[in-house]
Amino acid sequence: MKLDLGVLRQSKYAGTEKYFISMHNADSAMRVYRILAKYYLEMKEENFKKIIEGTLDVSEDERNYSPPGDFLQVNKANISIRFLIELQAKSFFLEVQNFFDYMAQVVASFFCNNLQTHVIDFQTIAKKKEEIHTQDVRELVEYISNSDVFGYVRDYGNTVKHNKGIGVKVYTNTEAIKMHAKIQGFSKRVKGNDYHTYPECDLEQKMEEVHSFANGMFGKLYELLKTEVEGLIVE
């Protein structure tokens, strides 16, 4: 399904196209971060294989790293490949949070009467779901806000925002010489002594799960938008 921006600009919702464009850009960014995370992981794996084969020397700076082969030299500076993978993970999950916030602005623009879209994020609209005048949209917002995937993204973002890093570890299967990355487990205090706790998980699998969920939820919103503006959604 595609959005007809021409129809949108001629409707009473003219000006809201910026939210759809922002969602498209966020989705594109998520794809790039996933590709780069996989690319850097494969680079680290290839370096490790070359070290075992004796075709790549381990620099003095890297002798304490395990597994070796972690440094990428750029303009004579050594950059940790594991750090680059971690950077893609952080950027990905923060972009997912942006994606849902843009979705909230779409909901506020099309299905609410009294909410100012420029100050709306997804958590806010979930708290004010009684302002949504369409039952199906209200149920969709509630479903997303109560989902495990959105809870993970929300708590990841809030944890990082408060300067608490969530690292990425790289593990090696020495028999198959295969590497995989895992996001460290973390806990987010909700209130008092109550915490949301998330165990360590596979990075690529979590990225795929979250990205698929985000796109699936917006696909459902697209279906609901069909009834608001005739011809807005093109099959």
At residue 137, the pLDDT reads 95
pTM, rounded to two decimals:
0.90
At residue 91, the pLDDT reads 97
Give the full edge-to-edge strand order of the sheet including 168-173. 168-173, 178-183, 201-202
- Cα separation, 41 vs 181, in Å, equals 7
At residue 66, the pLDDT reads 66
**CB 122 within 8 Å of CB 144:** yes
At residue 99, the pLDDT reads 97
- Residue 73, H or E segment: strand 71-74
- Cα separation, 30 vs 92, in Å, equals 5
Q: What is the pLDDT along the chain (235 residues), one digit of tens a residue?
A: 678 888 888 888 889 999 999 999 999 999 999 999 999 999 988 888 888 888 887 777 676 666 677 888 788 888 889 999 999 999 999 999 999 999 999 999 999 987 776 678 999 999 999 999 999 999 999 999 999 999 999 999 999 987 678 999 988 776 667 888 999 999 988 877 888 999 999 999 999 999 999 999 999 998 999 887 777 777 6
Give 83: exposed, middle or buried? Use CB within 10 Å, 0-12, 13-18, 19+.
middle
At residue 183, the pLDDT reads 96
